[in-house]
Structure 1
Amino acid sequence: MKKFAVLGSPISHSLSPLLHTTAYEALGFQGSYEKIEIKTGGLKAFLETLDSSWHGLSLTMPLKEEVIAQVSEISELALRVQSANTLFRKNHEWAATTTDVSGFAQSLNQHGIQANGHVLIIGAGATARAAAAACDGTAS
């Protein structure tokens, strides 16, 4: 069985396991998805404990920025926004990317909001940088 999880702190409120498990069942996918509390500074040690049954990890605060220094392969977009929310196995190593930028851009599009106009982003962290990248028209 392939293993997946969402990591972060706090994590008890996360609905990711429910959403993923429901999707897995509907698709007949043999996988598990759990939530694991990992605090700042704990990501590297945690990754070192994972065996090959682990195939992907979702990251939330405070790990989206920390992960950039913990993996050898990072997507260009994740490097640009200095944030990654997704880890996946590539050649037996962890690779990082972000889906925050495209997710934010799709949400704007679905609501008919033109990203090339004026946008107010409240915040300055990882998700705020992803939102800015989605709005500036240079990230795809």
Structure 2
Amino acid sequence: MPGARRTPTADAEMSARARLAVWGDPIDHSRSPALHTAAYRLLGLDWEYQRRQVDEESFSATLDSLDSSWRGLSLTMPLKHVAHAAADVMDRHAELTGAVNTLLLGARRRGFNTDVGGVADAFVAAGVEQIERARLLGSGATAASALVALHERGLREVDVRARRPEAARQLRQIAETLGVNLSVQQFTAPASEVDVTVATLPSGTALAPDVAAPLADVGGTLFEAAYAPWPSALAAEWPHATVISGFEMLLYQAVRQIRIFVHGTQAEPLPDESGIVAAMRAAIA
């Protein structure tokens, strides 16, 4: 995404923007305030980060009501697609997935998808760096971000399991754009061996043992997007391989959001970023 040309006036305006929040519906469960507040405290920034329940119908009006004290927003379900529509410019990950989970406010609304980087960073932190074959369980917004993240780790083939194969249309489009070979099957179809399995099913979803066990036997490392309750029903079926909790994605996508709110880009690391990550983990331990 082309960077906006900065001026002294624009810099002064952004420095005065000290309010942030996470929006979604529901939102009371969100751990984002604790994560972000811990980081801003360590960075010495007197910024306020709240949570607010906002649904799709009220999103546009609520966004338009924000004054110049607002710096940015984190967006969770079900707002990632309406936030995409509200952005004036977007990064490539947001364009590919059709989802925005971060808005940087100012003269233009700049939209980002940090879920892609959050998934990729979580794999790297777990020591899983090269991925050629993967299986996606589910076909929603998180699956779209995971597909792009896996491609950036070397993905060539992906097996998508969905209860309604027609719901994977967006994943097919993304895979075609990226040059990834994608197949879509029912959960009960025979499974071949893959390097990783990414589960993006709603929190609390339990697959029948006769469905989960064959997937676990040849599923490689499991990335379970859900993190509460933990372990998930699916993670409990994965006893012989590495299991990565969705909290890791939550953590690393938040780090990338903070980079955006501080630097205007998710590519530039924070000062003492390892220390900030440790403080964020401690904040919700």
TM-score (norm 2): 0.46
Aligned to 2:72: 56
Q: CA RMSD in A?
A: 1.8
| Map of 2:116 onto structure 1 | 101
The corresponding residue for 1:36 is 52
User: Structure 1 residue 115: deviation in Å?
Assistant: 4.7
**3-state SS, counterpart of residue 57 of structure 2:** coil
Distance 2:122 2:22 in 1: 22
Aligned match of 2:142 = 127
> Where do 5+ consecutive residues of structure 2 fail to align?
1-16, 153-177, 179-266, 268-285
In structure 2, what is the equivalent of residue 21 of structure 1? 37
User: Hey, which of these two has a bigger chunk of helix by percent?
Assistant: 2
Flag the structure with more relative contact order, 1 or 2, with Cα contacts below 8 A and sequence separation at least 6. 1
Shift of 1:125: 1.5
Which of 89, 99, 102 aligns to 1:73? It is 89
Secondary structure of 1:119's partner?
Answer: strand
Amino acid in the other structure paired with 2:127: G
Q: Report the equivalent of 1:111.
A: 126
State the distance in 2 between where 1:112 and 1:23 align: 24
The separation in 1 between residues aligned to 2:140 and 2:40, in whole angstroms, is 31
Higher strand share: 1
1:108 and 1:115 in contact (8 A); partners too: no
Structure 1 contact 115–134 (Cα < 8 Å) conserved:
no
Separation in structure 1 between the aligned mates of residue 56 and residue 150 of structure 2, nearest angstrom: 29
Task: Kindly state the Cα deviation for residue 42 of structure 1 after the two structures are TM-superposed.
Answer: 2.0
CA distance in 1, matches of 2:61, 2:131: 41
State the TM-score, normalized to the length of structure 1.
Answer: 0.89
What secondary structure, in the 3-state scheme, does the structure 1 residue paired with 2:136 have? Answer: coil
Give the counterpart letter for 2:30 in structure 1. Answer: S
Counterpart residue type for residue 136 of structure 1: H
2:77 partner SS: coil
Give the CA deviation at 1:103: 1.0
